[in-house]
Amino acid sequence: MQGFLRSDGRKGIRNVALVVYLVECAHHVAREIVYPSREHGVHLLGFPGCYQNPYAQRMLRQLCTHPNVGAVLLVSLGCEGFDRARLLREIRESGRPADVLVIQQEGGTRQTIAEGREWIERAREELQATPRALMNVDDLIVGTICGGSDATSGITANPAVGRAFDRLVGEGARVIFEETGELIGCERIMAARAARPELAPELVACVDKAARYYTAMGHSSFAPGNAEGGLTTQEEKSMGAYSKSGQSPISGILKPGDVPSRPGLFLLDVVPDGEVRWGFPNISDIQEIGELIACGAHLTLFTTGRGSVVGSAISPVIKICANPETFRRLSEDMDINAGRILEGSATLEEIGDEIYRCILRTAAGAPTASEALGHQEFSLVYKSFDPAGPACFPS
């Protein structure tokens, strides 16, 4: 496959231009700038808050310099707390065309939209000249997430993703799983897979933190409906989610925005550090996908039983449907029918192979179901993190 070569040497599988609002007050103007070219590789994202937040600042830097991104237009109201000068400098230092429009200085809504649309037109022409470079599996970073799970998720789509992850790791890719709140109950099992002894207690601590956080939020991981669906214990439920990670050793723990520097399997810790301050760790699946992308994910494998339809800005989402009945209802929104395992027409290994081939096809440019339908979801709200400790990284 041919990737898009960036001046920092990283390679992307898409070549999108971003329009980024730096406060909710600039959202409408940014959306209007995108509107005429929304089906031509121009994506909208941003941060709604008016007050500064180091996590959000870092997230937007990592997203704006993601290898799938070729050009960035920032849209500021003018008085918000976001450090737009710093973000602009960092994007320009990465070699990408970038600019900022400040609505209060441009002369208001209409003028800013007109200037923004012109800027985007020029950027799209420049993107045509992006150099291409040969890309292999060992250039890829792949994330995984589950959402809208049901009793089928843990027995078809999730273990099938695990098979695909094992193959990707074997071929030198970097793969990331997350959702520590869903891993409560299997932390010891997970710790036994730590690639280095000093990482094992960090993995346990990471899940303990999620358990404390969710308890403080009054949220329990094991719901009565789980037992009706055939799940008996907390460990069993967690193993269903955990099975997405496959069987490879766990090489390290990432915080949102940390890009893994070597091949292997990594756990992304999405639960904020410190006291419980900002509400739920993730308000929906969408912010977690954004965090995987900020860790460099070129694409995300999304497993669903009940039938999520989402995609994402920046990086394609491959949707793997665990439940054959859901697949029949929502087939247009799905890329892979893992429910075939339940109907006897495919094995876990065959669906794992199908996911692997879909990854290669998507990386080579084929649109996923959610891309073809125009999905470009994005969400970013306040959080705070301490940097990951030295035991979390491979030395």
Partner 1 sequence: MSSLLRLHPSDNVLTAVRHLAPGETISIDDSPCTLPAAIPFAHKLAAREILAGEKIVKYGAPIGSATRAIARGEHVHTHNLQSDYLPGGELSAG
Q: Check: CB of residue 88 under 8 Å from CB of residue 33.
A: no
| 123-158: b (≥16 Cβ within 10 Å) or e | bbeebeeeeeeebebebbbbbbbbbbbbbbbbbbbb
For the record, the structure tokens of 38 come out as: 């929304």
State the nearest-atom distance from the C-beta of 243 to partner 1, in Å: 5
Q: Which amino acid is at 203?
A: L
Q: Using CB under 8 A, which residues numbered 162 to 191 contact partner 1?
A: 184-189
Least separation in angstroms between CB 276 and partner 1? 16
Q: Is 328 in the site for partner 1 (CB under 8 A)?
A: no
Interface size with partner 1, residues (CB under 8 A): 34
Element housing 130 (H / E): none
Contact flag: residue 250 with partner 1 (CB under 8 A): no
Judged by CB under 8 A, the residue of 230, 249, 274, 279 near partner 1 is 230
Whether the Cβ atoms of residue 49 and residue 320 lie closer than 8 Å to each other: no
Is 26 one of the binding residues for partner 1 (CB under 8 A)? no
Which of 155, 169, 200, 392 lies at the binding interface for partner 1 (CB under 8 A)? 155
Q: Which two tokens stand for residue 170?
A: 């074997």
Binding of partner 1 by 344 (CB under 8 A): yes
- Phi first, then psi: give them for residue 250, nearest 5 degrees: -90, 120
Q: Is 239 in the site for partner 1 (CB under 8 A)?
A: yes
**Nearest C-alpha neighbor of 306 from the set 153, 146, 154, 148:** 148
Is 276 a binding residue for partner 1 by CB under 8 A? The answer is: no
Q: Binder to partner 1 among 47, 177, 242, 356 (CB under 8 A)?
A: 242
CB 293 within 8 A of CB 317: no
Give the C-alpha separation, 70 to 103, whole Å: 23
- Is 57 a binding residue for partner 1 by CB under 8 A? The answer is no
* Residue 2 or 347 with smaller CB distance to partner 1: 347
Q: How far is the CB of 146 from partner 1 (least distance, A)?
A: 15
Where does this chain bind partner 1 (CB under 8 A)?
Answer: 151-152, 155, 159, 184-189, 204-205, 207-208, 211, 215, 227, 229-230, 232-236, 239-240, 242-243, 341-345, 348
